[in-house]
Each structure stands twice: as C-alpha cells, then as structure tokens.
Amino acid sequence: MSLARGLTLVENELPGSGSLLKNLDVNHDIPVVGITGPPGAGKSTLVNAMIGIWSAEGKKIAVLAVDPTSPFNLGSLLGDRIRMSTHFNNPDVYIRSVATRGSVGGLAGKIIEMTDILRSSNFDVILIETVGVGQSEIEIAGLADFTMIVLVPEAGDEIQHIKSGLMEIGNAFIVNKADRDGAESFANRLSKSLHHRADPVPVFKTIADKNSGIEEILQWLSTANIRDNVRRLFLYAEKAYKLIQHKRMQDVSKTDLQDHLSSSYLNSDFNLYRFIEQYDHKC
C-alpha cells in the first residue's frame, strides 16, 4: 500500500485503517520533532531551511503540517505545502497537510496515527508543524519526541503569558527573525524565564530566511536523547490517553453539533444542558 493511501485511510477512518495500524512495524528510533508557535513567527520558513540542510545530507524527511480550521465556517486553507513549494519535486521530502475539520478531542489521535505510519516508512526524521494558538495544537506538539517553540522578538512582552502553555512543553526555543530590534534582549529574558525547568532548555537565535542559525539547531537535535526512558514512558501514556479519548469521541463532530444547534438554539425554551443530554443520547 502506498504511503499516501495509508495516511488517507487513517485520516478519514476508512475501512481497513484499524487493521493497518495494528499491523504496523513502527520504528521508534525515528525522531519526531514538533514545531509550534504563533502565526507569523516563520515556522514554515524555518522548516524549509531545516529540510534544505537535511536533504543536502541525503536524509529523507516527512512533514505533517496541521492547519487550524475556522471555528465559524469550518474551512481550512492548506497553505503550508504552498510555502514549502521549493521541496515539491524532491523525492526525499514528503509533505502532508492535515486540517482539523472541527474535530473534538481527536486531532491529536489522528496525528499520532499518521506519525506512526510515517515511522513505519523509510524516513530519517519527521516534522510536525502546528500553530500554537490553542490547546489542541499545544497538545499535538507536546506528543513529539522533541518540541521546538518558534517566537519572534515582538513577543517580548508576552513571556509570562507564553509560560502558561508553551513554556512547559518546549525542549528548545527559537527566537526567529533575530535581526530585528530587541532580539538579543528578548532571548536573554526568555532564557532567564526557563530557569525553573529541571532540564536544560536551549534558546537559539535564527534568521530562517537567510539560513542563519539553522545548523546549531540541527546539531542540537542530532545529540538530543530520544531514548530518555522517563520521557518516553510519559509520551506513551499521553499517546494512549489521546487515542482512547479519540476513540470515545469519534462520533462527535463540531459540524454535526452546529447543524443540530442551528435548529434548536433559537427556540424560546432552549436550554444548553438539556440539548447536550439529548445530543449525547443520540450519539
């Protein structure tokens, strides 16, 4: 079965996907790198630069780019493949965009399953790019072997806010667009704010569109310990939890929920809690 076909089976839960997953020969030594951060931080540019260097070294790279769906029209622009168009014709690079499509609690499960299919293929490294603007994206990145948070100097006044979520899951932080004013000061403050972490957390400065600082990141990744048994046990527990959560929530769709609400919420006697109970029984 082709790689694209296998990913499509799993992403859409088509017949045969369960059997495919249970019979995978997953290579857990292939590193999975999660890359997240706010829109405009330059994540796709950074991924482009990383792919360019790895590809020149003869490595095979897979990218899962998670595109958030609009909560209003449930549409998604799968734009990451456009921004990575320089690698379209590279046989050693595989790029797949995944839309959230209104899923509730199941997106992390989908990414885990699709990542395991990639890990059963002949890749040297797998990248998962998400937009760190919501809890689901944070959870996805946190399920990777290594999670890198991409920020820009303009985020300097938001460090305390960032700490509440992304600061806890990042294995490394990248201050991109480091040629901008305030980059050095922001990187220093970021390093100080990470002192509470028990494990050392590096802070890199990059100018991704000029390939500056990328080699240092790849060097760190090449020496980072993927066989940390404590972290690996934690990751397995988190992955199992997400997959169980997804299985139990697979009949819940935001699209369907919105459709049912549209015919009920304008009624004068509408009660959200009665609606939920009725909807839950339907599922």
7, with CB counted inside 10 A (0-12, 13-18, 19+), is: buried
In this structure, the answer to whether residues 243 and 214 fall within a common structural domain is: yes
Rounded mean pLDDT of 251-259?
Answer: 85
With 60 as the cut, is the pLDDT of residue 253 above it? yes
Rounded mean pLDDT of 93-119?
Answer: 78
pLDDT value, residue 77: 43
Q: Considering the domain boundaries, does residue 2 fall inside one?
A: no
Rounded mean pLDDT of 71-78?
Answer: 41
In this structure, the answer to whether residues 47 and 62 fall within a common structural domain is: yes
pLDDT value, residue 84: 63
72, with CB counted inside 10 A (0-12, 13-18, 19+), is: exposed
Rounded mean pLDDT of 107-121?
Answer: 89
Closest CA to 84 of 39, 47, 58: 47
Q: Considering the domain boundaries, does residue 1 fall inside one?
A: no
Q: Considering the domain boundaries, does residue 191 fall inside one?
A: yes
In this structure, the answer to whether residues 47 and 110 fall within a common structural domain is: yes
DSSP letters for 237-248: HHHHHHHHHHHH
Q: Are 129 and 30 in contact (CB under 8 A)?
A: no
In this structure, the answer to whether residues 181 and 57 fall within a common structural domain is: yes
In this structure, the answer to whether residues 100 and 184 fall within a common structural domain is: yes
With 80 as the cut, is the pLDDT of residue 115 above it? yes
In this structure, the answer to whether residues 223 and 276 fall within a common structural domain is: no
In this structure, the answer to whether residues 244 and 256 fall within a common structural domain is: no
Domain with residue 195: its CATH number is 3.40.50.300
Q: Considering the domain boundaries, does residue 8 fall inside one?
A: no
pLDDT value, residue 28: 86
The token pair at 39 is 């829109």
Q: Considering the domain boundaries, does residue 15 fall inside one?
A: no
Q: Considering the domain boundaries, does residue 121 fall inside one?
A: yes
In this structure, the answer to whether residues 213 and 269 fall within a common structural domain is: no
In this structure, the answer to whether residues 243 and 267 fall within a common structural domain is: no
pLDDT value, residue 263: 85
Structural domain boundaries enclosing 38:
22-250
| CA angle (120, 11, 92) in 5-degree steps | 45
With 70 as the cut, is the pLDDT of residue 238 above it? yes
In this structure, the answer to whether residues 190 and 51 fall within a common structural domain is: yes
Read off the pLDDT of residues 135-152 as tens digits, 9 standing for 90 and up: 666 777 778 899 999 999
Q: Considering the domain boundaries, does residue 12 fall inside one?
A: no
CA distance 167 to 173: 9
How big is the chain, counted in residues? Answer: 283
pLDDT value, residue 87: 75
CA distance 215 to 145: 19
The total number of structural domains in the chain stands at 2
Average pLDDT value for the chain:
83
198, with CB counted inside 10 A (0-12, 13-18, 19+), is: exposed
Between 81 and 179, the more confident residue is: 179
With 60 as the cut, is the pLDDT of residue 104 above it? no
Q: Which residues contact 231 (CB under 8 A, 6 or more apart)?
A: 145
The token pair at 165 is 């979520």
CA distance 61 to 121: 11
Q: Sorting pLDDT into bands at 50, 70 and 90, what band is 7?
A: very high
In this structure, the answer to whether residues 142 and 236 fall within a common structural domain is: yes
pLDDT value, residue 183: 93
In this structure, the answer to whether residues 226 and 263 fall within a common structural domain is: no
Q: Considering the domain boundaries, does residue 94 fall inside one?
A: yes
